[in-house]
Homo-oligomer: A and B are copies of this chain.
Amino acid sequence: MATTIKDIAKKVGVNPSTVSRVINGTAAISEETKEKIMAAMKELDYHPNILARSLVNGSTFTIGLVIDAGNSDAYANTFFIQSITAIEKVTQQLGYNLLITNHTERETENAVKNLVLEHKIDGIILPVSSITEDLVNLLNANQFPFVVMGEPDQSYTEGNWVDMDNEGGGRLAVKHLLDSGYRHPVLFVENKGTTFEQKRTLGFLKALEENRIFPSGNSIVENCSGRDAITLKIEKLLTDHPETDSIICTNNIMAYHVLQILRQHRVSVPEEMGVITFDNYPLAEYLDPPLTAVDIDTYLLGEQVASTLFDMIKKKNRKEEATLIETKIIQRKSTEKR
């Protein structure tokens, strides 16, 4: 059996409560006994039993994190693990532990409910993809601290979410292309109806307007998913709008295809056509040419999420404003028009 507070109390000849008090520094204890107790703790290699402690003060010093590895694309995971790392770091620094639960079709809601109702965690971080109105209601009813990763399209979560600034990212992509000497950018989208794509599109359009760019046709090319579809789009673009000199892709796979298709069509990148993508996936720098990307600091995002949660846990108050993480350009060869 492991050493308990009683063991060391007995050894020193003192009451368990005294030991507890020196551990927590929660009352004045004479230097003398304090030292004796510390010595005994060392000698008997004492480690507090968190369970017992949690039971009495109702806090487990553990937070939950739901991850969505199943249905999101494999690429996002690379990012996500950086966020996890950051979340874990903050968590550990504050003396907490991190419990993870995978988001699965049916079970997430129950799993989360159990974690909450069985008192296993003090707070929870959820990806947008895993929240439901029921769940949010439950959490709110219990005044349970939670923060959402990604911007919810519903209104039932106010304030407590953190996301990358997709609109700003769209703006930034345009700005970078203009700064690099391109004049006629188009945006390739998949039209999946995802919030982030809509925001990126919005930023793109606003930036065009702000810079007084009025394209001859529609500057947004829709349904760019799959190699064949993209090939057709590009061919049409080259013939119908030969003035086009740069392409912004809303995701990486799209960008890889674009690069290959342009090479096949002997359109040189970055001279004749600049290409920039969202999300700085790991291999972007090894492509030919290396791809410029609009990136976010996923580590920072994780830090923000975690500290938002801990603010709520500590101060017991909701945040009023959401947090947006700024994007930045990772400049590589694919936009070096010069």
Contacts and interface: CB of A to CB of B under 8 A. Distances in A.
Interface in A165-198: none
Contacts of A286: 253, 256-257, 260
A70 interface: yes
A132 interface: no
Contacts of A62: 99, 120
A84 interface: yes
A271 B286 CA distance: 23
A90 to B, nearest CB: 11
A115 B101 contact: no
B75 A282 contact: yes
Contacts of A120: 50-51, 62, 97
Nearest to A259: B288
Contacts of A238: none
Interface string A93-115: 00001111110100100010011
A32 B289 CA distance: 75
Contacts of A92: 101-102, 107, 111
Contact of A82 (B69, B88, B97, B288): B69
Contacts of A74: 78, 282
Interface stretch (A33-41, A52-60, A210-218, A329-337): A52-60
A85 interface: yes
Contacts of A101: 88, 92, 97-98
Interface of A: 2, 45, 47-52, 54-55, 60, 62, 67, 69-70, 74-75, 77-78, 80-82, 84-85, 88-89, 92, 97-102, 104, 107, 111, 114-115, 117-120, 253, 256-257, 260, 281-283, 286, 288
20 contacts: A47-B117, A47-B118, A49-B55, A49-B118, A51-B55, A51-B120, A67-B88, A69-B84, A69-B85, A75-B78, A77-B77, A77-B81, A81-B81, A85-B102, A89-B102, A89-B104, A253-B286, A256-B283, A281-B283, A283-B283
Given A74-B78, A256-B286, 8 more contacts: A50-B120, A69-B82, A75-B78, A75-B282, A77-B78, A98-B99, A98-B100, A253-B286
